[in-house]
Structure 1
Amino acid sequence: METRRRSVVKAVIWNVIGLTVMTVVGMLATGSATVGGAMALVNTGLGFVTYLIYERIWAGIAWGRAHV
């Protein structure tokens, strides 16, 4: 079973990647670094919370795991 700490670290790393990508996309879409950055921050915050919930749900599901 995966620990909560591992889930949090994975979520943080994934969201740093997402923040970077969304900032660039937001800047390209709006022409503004401020608006693009704000969009990226909102997206990253929502993504972080939903990813953590998703990971914790899957951590409790035994289906598909190899039994050792």
Structure 2
Amino acid sequence: MEDPRAKGRLMSARDTHLRSVCKAISWRVIATLTTTLIAYFVTGKWETALFIGGWEALVKIVVYTLHERVWEHIPFGRREPEYYI
């Protein structure tokens, strides 16, 4: 297959698997802190709140990463790459 850059076309950027994982982790830190605080205010126990927050983080990192990878294959809402000569 011919390299599209050879004709002056701009290739659209796509996330790597590593970038998707890093995005998932950075978001999970913020979201898990929020969940842990909510769990603490509901239960009044840090041990329970940290247990809930820890499991929530692990499960949702996997789910979010899979979600990102699936959306990489869905064309909805994407623009066609612009071409330059």
Q: Normalising by structure 1, what TM-score?
A: 0.92
Sequence identity (%) = 29
Residues 20-47 of structure 1: CA distance to partner in whole angstroms, max 9, x if unpaired? 1011011111110010010011111111
- Whose Rg is larger? 2
Aligned length, in residue pairs: 68
Q: Which residue of 2 aligns with 1:36?
A: 49
Structure 1 regions of 5+ residues with no counterpart? none
* Pairing partner for 1:4 from 6, 11, 17: 17
| 2:65 counterpart of 1:52 | yes
Structure 2 regions of 5+ residues with no counterpart? 1-13
Runs of 4+ in 1 over 6 A off after TM superposition: none
CA distance in 1, matches of 2:60, 2:39: 16
Q: Normalising by structure 2, what TM-score?
A: 0.75
CA distance in 1, matches of 2:54, 2:72: 27
| 2:34 counterpart of 1:21 | yes
> Which letter does structure 1 place at the counterpart of 2:59?
L
